[in-house]
């Protein structure tokens, strides 16, 4: 037998909080410790896990409700213990011939659910890409649609798993909140089987099983919509951002699971006000930059208007902000990697013989050298606080790698480089680069960097000045290696040299420390033995 249990909101460490996201639907089977609710208080956002397992029968709250400890959240049907068997002596034996036939257990029933456009922070947006096809099996949180509004692109994820039966939109369509996107077939729970009576008795006529009705449209909450595949925020935070005409893509998120909180928006606004007072910022603010002239280029000849890609629209303002607000210094150097290159080729030959399925690139050694230098000079592994009054020193060492993709430049992060070997880093770098070029990077893949490496060695060029990837304080640019004559004290000999360019935030790093840092990288790369010291 089954019974209904009520799930009450546990102690959340605050008097009250707002519900920003409901993570389950009626009919869902949930497990103990599965997140069922996201709430946001004065100081933080948190996910509330379930203390019971079963099937959700009723949801007693909705997004936007204010709740506190003890409020009823869900009614859950849980499986009870099997009824105890009656003593054999007390139960009259029934002739086998009179026993009612046992019907086959009915299979799990499928039902249709609709997915509609959630609150996307604007009146109307354009569908730029439909990411699934009829017949596709989709997973929960899988991106199904890309839409583009006035300020940003958004990837809309599926709120549940199933099979796509109908697609109700096409690229170029205009949609708004509530517009129907997909009809999805989801697998329902099997209908319960009534136990057949053992004793001879008249069998009651079986009620006809009602066909499942089409479920109401599933509304995605705003916190499930990923702007440019990376931004999560509650309705109140999005509303605040719109009031200040802010792009959430440029606001550093500190909430749980990469969520942008109200404090993040406030901190960003305060920082911009301080920047304006100090004469920073772009456009016609403190820098007093003239507005770009409006030119009709068509009068000079034939032109073509090509819209910026989604990544360019998001990264452009961030790069501009970094360039005009960070006092850059760039230190140049050349590294002798002759021995390193010989060792790399030797290891690749060994990897082929052992069928390891990997290829070691020079970039892997760069990552290890940078990680070692970050360990030696911790100020490079830091970020300025939002008010500019303190330095946040990071105890982890994660390296961001700028990857060139068909849609623009992205920076996935390889975690814990200092504690990983060359083979492990090579595998992870290959996987994350492939994921980046396929446009499958997640928020987690691009967060938590200590420092970034931008390598153009495979393309060409002798030097360039990379822009610091805030909130990091330094970035290393790597150009194409070349054979050059190097004086060894007796004669010139051909050596393989690679140019390096280290850009850093002069508010945090002074010139002497910058020179020491790039010299340390030089030493590690020119003599690999120093990497293990």
What DSSP designation does 490 have? Answer: S
**What are the b/e assignments for 15-47, b being 16+ CB within 10 Å?**
eebbbbbbbbeebbebeeeeebbbbbeeebbbe
Question: Which of 49, 67, 12, 20 minimizes the C-alpha distance to 261?
Answer: 20
Sheet holding 17-22, edge to edge: 45-49, 35-40, 17-22, 66-67
Q: What pLDDT score does 14 carry?
A: 64
Confirm if 149 and 120 have CB atoms less than 8 A apart.
yes
Distance of CA 132 to the CA centre of its chain: 19
Q: Among positive and negative, which fits the CA dihedral 22, 24, 25, 30?
A: negative
Q: Is 288 left (phi over 0), alpha (psi -120 to 50) or beta?
A: left
Give ∠ CA 378-412-512 in degrees, rounded to 5.
25
Q: Is 228 helix (H, G, I), strand (E, B) or coil?
A: coil
Token digits of residue 6: 């009520």
What is the SS3 assignment for 219? strand
What is the H or E stretch that residue 186 is in?
Answer: strand 180-187
Q: Return all residues near 184 (Cβ < 8 A) that are at least 6 apart.
A: 112, 113, 114, 115, 138, 158, 160, 162, 163, 164, 165
The DSSP-derived string for 102-164 is: PPPPPPPPEEEEEEE----SSS-EEEEEE---TT-EE-TT-EEEEEE-SS-EEEEEPSS-EEE
Helix (H) or strand (E) holding 320: helix 310-325
pLDDT of residue 393: 96
Q: Give the residue among 169, 164, 166 at the shortest CA–CA distance from 179.
A: 169
328 part of the active site: no
Instruction: Tell the residue number behind the tokens 């003890």, with chain if given.
Output: 70
CB 329 within 8 A of CB 515: no
Domains of the chain, CATH where assigned: 2-80 (2.40.50.100), 326-532 (3.30.559.10)
- Running DSSP on this structure, what letter comes out for residue 178? T
The answer to whether the CB of 59 falls within 8 A of the CB of 37 is no
As a whole number of angstroms, the distance between CA 112 and CA 310 comes to 32
pLDDT tens-place values along the chain, 533 residues long? 678 888 888 877 667 888 888 888 888 888 887 878 888 766 556 778 888 888 899 999 988 888 888 889 889 888 764 433 434 344 444 444 444 444 444 455 678 889 988 766 556 788 888 888 898 888 887 878 887 765 455 778 888 888 999 999 988 888 888 889 999 998 864 444 443 343 333 433 333 333 333 344 444 433 333 333 346 776 667 778 877 878 777 788 777 666 788 888 888 888 777 766 555 444 444 455 666 788 889 989 999 998 887 777 778 888 888 888 899 999 999 999 999 999 999 999 999 999 888 899 999 999 999 999 999 999 999 999 988 889 999 999 999 999 988 878 889 999 999 999 999 999 999 999 998 888 888 778 888 999 999 999 888 889 999 999 999 999 999 999 999 999 989 999 999 999 999 999 999 999 999 999 999 999 999 999 988 87
Q: What are phi and psi of 19, to 5 degrees?
A: -80, 120
pLDDT at 210: 39
Q: What is the pLDDT of residue 312?
A: 79
| Run of H or E including 18 | strand 17-22
CB-count burial class (<10 Å; 0-12, 13-18, 19+) for 211: exposed
**CA-closest candidate to residue 429, choices 400, 464, 462:** 400
Cβ contacts of 266 within 8 Å, gap of 6 or more: none
* Active-site residue, from 359, 480, 506, 516: 506
Structure-token pair, residue 351:
């990897």
C-alpha–C-alpha distance, residues 205 and 361, integer Å:
73
Beta bridge partners of 382: 393
Residue 415, helix vs strand vs coil: coil
Which phi-psi region, left, alpha or beta, contains residue 54 (left: φ > 0; alpha: ψ -120 to 50)?
Answer: left
Q: Look at residue 99 in the predicted model and tell me its pLDDT.
A: 41
How many helices (DSSP H) and strands (DSSP E) are in the chain? 7, 31
Query: How far is the C-alpha of 139 from the C-alpha of 462, rounded, in Å?
Result: 46
Pairing, β 218-219 against β 110-116: parallel
**How many CB atoms are closer than 10 A to CB 354?**
9
- Strand ranges (DSSP E) for 65-122? 66-67, 72-79, 110-116
Compute the residue count for the chain. 533
Separation of alpha carbons 260 and 463, rounded Å: 37
SS3 495: strand
């Amino acid at each position: 037998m089954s019974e209904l249990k009520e799930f009450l909101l546990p102690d959340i460490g605050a008097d009250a909080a707002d519900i920003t996201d409901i993570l389950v639907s009626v009919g869902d089977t949930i497990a103990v410790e599965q997140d069922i609710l996201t709430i946001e208080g004065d100081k933080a956002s948190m996910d509330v896990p379930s203390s019971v397992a079963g099937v959700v029968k009723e949801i007693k709250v909705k997004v936007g409700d204010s709740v506190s400890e003890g409020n009823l959240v869900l009614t859950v049907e849980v499986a009870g213990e099997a009824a105890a068997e009656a003593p054999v002596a007390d139960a009259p034996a029934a002739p086998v011939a009179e026993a009612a036939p046992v019907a086959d257990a009915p299979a799990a029933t499928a039902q249709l659910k609709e997915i509609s456009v959630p609150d996307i922070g604007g009146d109307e947006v354009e569908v730029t890409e439909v990411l699934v096809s009829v017949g596709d099996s989709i997973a929960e949180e899988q991106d199904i649609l890309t839409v583009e509004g006035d300020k940003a692109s958004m990837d809309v994820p599926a709120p549940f798993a199933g099979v796509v039966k109908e697609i109700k939109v096409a690229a170029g369509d205009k949609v708004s909140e509530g517009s129907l996107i997909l009809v999805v077939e989801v697998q329902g729970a099997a209908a319960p089987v009534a136990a057949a009576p053992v004793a001879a008795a008249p069998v009651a006529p079986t009620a006809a099983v009602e066909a499942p009705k089409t479920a109401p449209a599933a509304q995605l909450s705003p916190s499930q919509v990923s702007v440019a595949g990376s931004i999560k925020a509650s309705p109140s935070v999005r509303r605040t951002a719109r009031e200040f005409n802010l792009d959430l893509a440029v606001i550093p998120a500190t909430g749980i699971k990469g969520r942008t909180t109200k404090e993040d928006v406030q901190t960003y606004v305060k920082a911009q006000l301080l920047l304006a007072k100090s004469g920073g910022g772009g456009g016609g603010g403190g820098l007093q930059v003239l507005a770009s002239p409006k030119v009709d280029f068509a009068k000079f000849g034939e032109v073509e208007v090509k819209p910026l890609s989604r990544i360019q629209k998001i990264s452009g303002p961030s790069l501009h902000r970094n360039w005009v607000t960070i006092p850059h210094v760039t230190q140049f150097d050349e590294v002798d990697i002759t021995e390193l290159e010989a060792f790399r080729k030797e290891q690749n030959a060994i990897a082929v013989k052992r069928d390891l399925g990997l290829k070691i690139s020079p970039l892997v050694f760069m990552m290890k050298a940078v990680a070692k230098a970050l360990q030696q000079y911790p100020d490079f592994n830091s970020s300025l606080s939002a008010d500019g009054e303190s330095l946040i020193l990071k105890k982890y060492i994660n390296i961001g790698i700028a990857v060139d993709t068909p849609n623009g430049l992205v920076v996935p992060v390889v975690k814990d480089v200092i504690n990983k070997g060359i083979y492990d880093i090579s595998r992870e770098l290959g996987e994350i680069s492939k994921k980046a070029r396929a446009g499958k990077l997640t928020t987690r893949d691009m967060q938590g960097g200590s420092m970034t490496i931008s390598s153009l060695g495979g393309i060409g060029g002798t030097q360039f000045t990379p822009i610091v990837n805030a909130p990091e304080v330094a970035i290393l640019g790597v150009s194409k290696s070349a054979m050059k004559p190097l004086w060894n004290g007796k004669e010139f000999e051909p050596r393989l040299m690679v140019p390096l360019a280290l850009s850093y935030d002069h508010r945090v790093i002074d010139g002497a420390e910058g020179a020491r840092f790039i010299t340390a990288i030089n030493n590690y790369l020119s003599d690999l033995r120093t990497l293990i010291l």
